[in-house]
Structure formats: C-alpha cells, structure tokens
Amino acid sequence: MGFLDFVEGPLFVIAAITFVLGALWRVIGIIRIGRKKDISPPKGSAAAGFIKGNLRHFFPRGIFARRTWLHIIGGYGFHIGLFVLVFFAAPHIAFLDDRILGFGWQGMPRWAFVLVADVAFAGLIVLWVRRISDPVMRLISDWEDHFGSWLTFLVMLTGCLAMQQSHDVLRAVHMLVIDVWLIYFPFSRLMHAFTFVLSRGNTGATYGRKGMNL
C-alpha cells in the first residue's frame, strides 16, 4: 500500500470516524449538561428565544457595526468560502462520490474555485492577523487558537497547491493534513462550527424566557 492509498484509505477512515464520533460526543455531552430549572414564571418563549438568538447573531448590532466590519467580512468570507470549497470543488465531489456517498453533483468551474479560494484565504488571513494585531484579541488568544487557525490554513493551502493534480505526493500531503485536522477537530475550539448553535441558543432562550428583546 502506497502512502497516498494509506492516507486516503485506512487513515482517512479512522480520521472520519474520530471526527463524527468525537463531534457527537461533544455535542451530546453539552446537551446532557442541561440547564438549571428556572422556577420564575416565564414572560416569553424560550424556544422562540433559542431560534431568535441564533438568527440575531448573524448580523452585527448597529452600534458595533462600524467597529466590527473587518472581522465580520473576514469571518463570513472565510467560513462561506471554506464551505463552498469543501462541497463544490470538483476533486472533493469526486472523492465523496467515490469513497463515501456513491453519488456526486455539479462542481465549480476553475475560475469560481480560484475566486472562492481567494475569498476564503483572505478571510482567514484577516482573522488571524487581527488576532495578533488587536491587543485584546492577542491577550485572550492562546496556542490552541493559533494552532487551529494554522492547521485550517494548511488544509486549504495544501489543497490549493495540489490543484494541478499532476503529482500524487501533493494530493497525499493534502489528505494527510485533512486527516490530522479531522482527528483534531472534535477536541479543539474548531468545534465552534457545531457548538455555536448551542451557545447562541442558550443565550437566546434565557433572554427569550425573560421576555427580553434580543
């Protein structure tokens, strides 16, 4: 078995299982913690607050919009860009079709791939340089924040370097970094990709039950 076969085969299976089970374990664990019973009479709907809390946080509040536009744009650019790259890059669709799903869908043309990759890279770089340039962000960031950012950057970078698809070794390096990323993901702050729903929802539900306008 060659190195490419190994990172695309057994190691990928282990990484994918770790990712799925680890993420489920974390999310179920958070849900099972539950909330302390609130004995005060409700003045509003906690469920509506949960949903509203989630939706409301997608947009900056007016008074903060001018101060936060940079990382709002950077954040959306990176996250949406990464999502589109993962699910609409032609080699990814072929891989998912071949290895996991058994069916595929229409991929992006090359020019769209380059455009989306540029947006995603720009967003990630802006978010990271803000982390090192803003004194408050620098203070509250630890090695895990930087490691997660850099690992994600490496996943994207190695993918783009292998774009020509002319050398197996470049594809193997990309797959290896993906495997590491998948294994690291559930046990790191990268889990915010799933837990943000719970944290926003918790805040929203608390305020919603108290009848506060979010």
Partner 1 sequence: MSKFAQGAIALLLLLVIALFATQTNAQNVRPPGDAVNLESTGQPGPSNALGDRSDSEIWDAFRGGDPNDLLAPRPDGVVLSTTGQHWREFRENYINKYALWLPAGVIVILTLFHLISGKMKISAGRSGNMIPRFTLNARVSHWFMASIFILLGLSGITIMIARPILVPLLGSKVTSVLTSAALQGHNLFGPLFVVALLWMFIKFVRGNFFQIVDFKWIFKLGGFFGGHVSSRQFNFGEKSWFWMVILVGIVMSATGLALEFPWIMEDIRLLQLSTILHGIGAIALISVAIGHIYIGTIGMEGSIDSMLKGEVDENWAKEHHDLWYEEVTGKSAKD
Binding footprint of partner 1 on the chain (CB under 8 A): 70, 114, 117-118, 121-122, 125-126, 129-130, 132-135, 157, 160-164, 166-167, 169-170
Nearest approach in angstroms of CB 112 to partner 1 is: 13
Contact 77, 123 (CB under 8 A): yes
What letter does residue 111 receive in the DSSP assignment?
H
Nearest approach in angstroms of CB 80 to partner 1 is: 17
Supply 26's token pair.
Answer: 């974390």
Angle at 14 between CA 9 and CA 17, to 5 degrees: 120
Closer by beta carbon to partner 1, 65 or else 169: 169
Closer by beta carbon to partner 1, 171 or else 200: 171
Nearest approach in angstroms of CB 58 to partner 1 is: 22
Contact 137, 170 (CB under 8 A): no
Closer by beta carbon to partner 1, 23 or else 176: 176
Closer by beta carbon to partner 1, 163 or else 191: 163
Helix 62-88 vs helix 143-161: angle between axes, to the nearest 10 degrees? Answer: 40
Separation of alpha carbons 171 and 161, rounded Å: 9
Separation of alpha carbons 78 and 81, rounded Å: 5
Separation of alpha carbons 151 and 117, rounded Å: 16
Nearest approach in angstroms of CB 10 to partner 1 is: 24
| Secondary structure class of 43 (helix, strand, coil) | coil
Nearest approach in angstroms of CB 87 to partner 1 is: 19
Closer by beta carbon to partner 1, 3 or else 187: 3
Which of 114, 125, 116 has its CA nearest to residue 83?
116
Closer by beta carbon to partner 1, 4 or else 126: 126
Nearest approach in angstroms of CB 66 to partner 1 is: 11
